Amino acid sequence: MGELACFKKDEEEELEVLFQIIVVQTPREGAS
């Protein structure tokens, strides 16, 4: 169970990074 929790945490961190990238790129496309 410990491994699963660690994997889930890593997955959440990746989603956070992807979300930040989308948030940064989206306004540019909307502005232009």
Give the residue carrying structure tokens 């889930």.
8
Which pTM does this prediction carry? 0.46
- Give the per-residue SS3 of the chain: CHHHHHHHHHHHHHHHHHHHHHHHHHHHHHHC
Residue 27 CA, chain-centre distance (Å), reads 17
Give the residue carrying structure tokens 């940064």.
24
Give the residue carrying structure tokens 């992807």.
18
Copy the structure tokens of residue 31: 């502005």
| pLDDT of the residue at 5 | 77
Q: What is the pLDDT along the chain (32 residues), one digit of tens a residue?
A: 577 777 778 888 999 999 998 888 876 666 65
